Amino acid sequence: MANIEHFVAATEHTVYEIASIGKTFTATLMMMLVEAKVISLDEAIANYLDDLPLAWQSVTVKHILSHQSGIPSYTDASNYWEITRLDLSKPEILALVRDLPLKFQPGEFSAYDNTGYYLLGLMLEQITGQFYEDLLRDRIFLPLGMNATGMNNPQNIVSHRAAGYRLLNHKLINKPYYSPSVTYSAGGQLSSIADMAKWEQALNNATLLKQSTLDLMWTPHPPSQGNNWEKLKYVAGLGWWIFNYDDRRVVGHNGSILGFASNITRFIDDHITVILLCNLDKISRPDAIAKKIAGYYSPKLAKLALQPPL
């Protein structure tokens, strides 16, 4: 149901908060600049962002895209949940972590990091002179006809917007308010299944980026230490996570935010993509559900559904 209180059924046009799936959009914008030779993956973000902490000066674009920057994620800050209802400025968001030490030296290890993708949004605005929201619209959504996709703003009237829910003591409740200022380029987008199908077609047809660029994004980029690809079965690419399923190429990304959960999993060798958008948070591993759905369509993938979720 898109809205339980008003008995509105969900359709392919229902609009959901997609959370961190939006990082794939941010990564695509960055790789457009790489293709245009405006920036380099190995270039320090400090070349474009002023007043960064000294410890962040050696962090590169590639470090952030592959979650190897070592910068603490602002979503792990001790007071994070206390401030999620506040409309904070971007400097106020970064202030949550800017005085903290790095978790590790850039490139040594990998740790999921929302701060890095927040910084990429600022970097995109600095380089292009456009707002991040406008970049998404002009370079991705309008060219692909993704007319229901955009940045989340609770004040906007959004046709077919889904209400978000969560379970509390086994009782379904409305999600609490969560300020969109907290998510920004780390996962503040809305979309529908119909629009995400257009996104998938663009990826499949290399519409926005060269195939060689997409292949680079979908190539494992393990850190220098602390990642056993064969054991962990997954590693970061550039804006995507790469999964090792019996030597089959599988890439994807989860999304989770108050009231919503999402997943896109692309079984590249099998030409199957599963996209899940749900208006209930903390559902049981959407990537596991994606594997099970894919197994119905391809006998080669059926055994993946029997594997435990990552």
Mark the ranges of the chain whose per-residue pLDDT is less than 50.
308-310
The reported pLDDT for the residue numbered 289 is 86
- 3-state SS of the chain is CCECCCCECCCCCCEEECHHHHHHHHHHHHHHHHHCCCCCCCCEHHHCCCCCCHHHCCCEHHHHHCCCCCCCCHHHCCCHHHHCCCCCCHHHHHCCCCCCCCCCCCCCCCCCCHHHHHHHHHHHHHHHCCCHHHHHHHHHHHHHCCCCCEECCCCCCCCCECCCEEEECCEEEECCCCCHHHCHHHCCEEEEHHHHHHHHHHHHCCCCCCHHHHHHHCCCCCCCCCCCHHHHCEEECCCCEEEEECCEEEEEEEEEECCEEEEEEEEHHHCEEEEEEECECCCCCHHHHHHHHHHHHCHHHHHHHHCCCC
Model pLDDT, residue 302:
75
**What pLDDT sits at residue 298?**
86
pLDDT of residue 151: 98
Instruction: Supply the pLDDT for residue 309.
Output: 46
Question: Domain coordinates of the chain in residue numbers?
Answer: 15-222
Average pLDDT of the chain to the nearest whole number: 92
Q: What is the pLDDT of residue 310?
A: 46
Task: Look at domain 15-222 and name its CATH class.
Answer: alpha beta
